[in-house]
């Protein structure tokens, strides 16, 4: 029986019944991650990339109090045009938005929840949230990490967003028992760059190997997800030293303006785009497409 708050697109519902490979996609990147119209163009291109690799895309969002898996082009356009007017929705926000029949753009955590309810095991995003810089005093830790610990969905990302404390993020994932898999690399990527100075738990070199690991994991224990770290293509990565200076300046600006909580990530990404003259946005688009392709290949390999 379908969950009472879940609404599947006809395409997603048919794919689930036919056991076709599906890939979940988030909507925060549409409403909060990029300016219009690049956000809509990118969302549609990501869906095309998934299709071209042999899987069915299921972009997720909260619309009129329903958890949606699979959006129409008009719904994606609506999210893109309304942007920051659409609430950013993580796990804690879901009950309120559903009870009030409101809309929400899904984060990694809430997209994982929707994907799990729909029976979708593979999810592609840009970068996960994690332990923020300075979290030893602020305790600012993304709900994405707890979701990875508890919800059985594999997330393909370009590591964690480099605005975070990557070392503490990896420590948290280790403590929670979340395997971090490097696709064709022993290095944990840092979103805009291919290396962070940290290592992954396991390197696997084909989508089929990753699919086999996920099958083994969930056969052994159905709880919890996995993080598949897929480095940004080499031609699209940005200079590591430049990005560290840029991120440090953006974080300092956020501190001066007192920006906290769910507002901080959109602020930092926008500030970094401004400081890099738009280059970070182009890298962001490239890595999302790269992750969507790999996620589809893993879903097909399952």
Q: How far apart are CA 37 and CA 107, in angstroms?
A: 20
DSSP state, residue 234: G
- Catalytic-labelled residue, pool 47, 77, 147, 161: 161
- Catalytic-labelled residue, pool 26, 47, 147, 273: 26
Q: Cβ distance 69 to 24 under 8 Å?
A: yes
Helical ranges in the chain per DSSP H? 10-17, 28-31, 38-52, 73-82, 94-99, 108-118, 135-138, 143-150, 166-175, 207-220, 240-257, 264-275, 279-301
Q: Is 161 a catalytic residue?
A: yes
Q: Is 209 a catalytic residue?
A: no
Helix (H, G, I), strand (E, B) or coil at 183: strand
HSE, side-chain direction, 13 A CA sphere, residue 113: 24
Q: How far apart are CA 61 and CA 67, in angstroms?
A: 6
Handedness of CA 165, 171, 176, 178 (dihedral sign): positive
CB atoms within 10 A of CB 209: 16
Q: How far apart are CA 194 and CA 273, in angstroms?
A: 18
Residues with a known catalytic role: 26, 161
């Amino acid at each position: 029986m379908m969950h009472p708050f879940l609404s599947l697109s006809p395409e997603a519902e048919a794919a689930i019944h036919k056991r076709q490979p599906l890939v979940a996609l988030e909507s925060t990147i549409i409403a909060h991650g990029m300016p219009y119209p690049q956000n809509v163009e990118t969302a549609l291109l990501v869906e095309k990339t998934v299709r071209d690799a042999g899987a069915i895309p299921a972009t997720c969002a909260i619309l009129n109090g329903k958890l949606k898996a699979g959006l129409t082009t008009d719904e994606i356009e609506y999210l893109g045009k309304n942007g920051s007017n659409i609430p950013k929705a993580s796990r804690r926000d879901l009950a309120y938005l559903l009870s009030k029949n409101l809309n929400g753009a899904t984060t990694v955590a809430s997209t994982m929840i929707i994907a799990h309810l729909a029976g979708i095991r593979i999810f592609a995003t840009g970068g996960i949230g994690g332990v923020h810089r300075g979290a030893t005093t602020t305790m600012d830790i993304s709900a994405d990490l707890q979701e990875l610990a508890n919800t059985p969905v594999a997330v393909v990302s370009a590591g964690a967003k480099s605005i975070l404390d990557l070392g503490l993020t990896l420590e948290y994932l280790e403590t929670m028992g979340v395997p971090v898999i490097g696709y064709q690399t022993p290095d944990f990527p840092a979103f805009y760059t291919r290396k962070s100075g940290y290592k992954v738990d396991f390197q696997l070199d084909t989508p089929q190997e990753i699919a086999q690991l996920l099958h083994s994991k969930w056969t052994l224990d159905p709880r919890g997800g996995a993080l598949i770290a897929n480095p940004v293509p080499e031609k699209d990565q940005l200079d590591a030293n430049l990005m560290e200076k840029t991120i440090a300046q953006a974080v300092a600006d956020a501190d001066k303006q007192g920006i906290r909580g769910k507002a901080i990530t959109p602020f930092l990404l926008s500030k970094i785009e401004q400081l890099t003259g738009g280059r970070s946005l182009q890298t962001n688009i490239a890595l999302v497409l790269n992750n969507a392709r790999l996620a589809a290949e893993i879903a097909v390999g399952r």
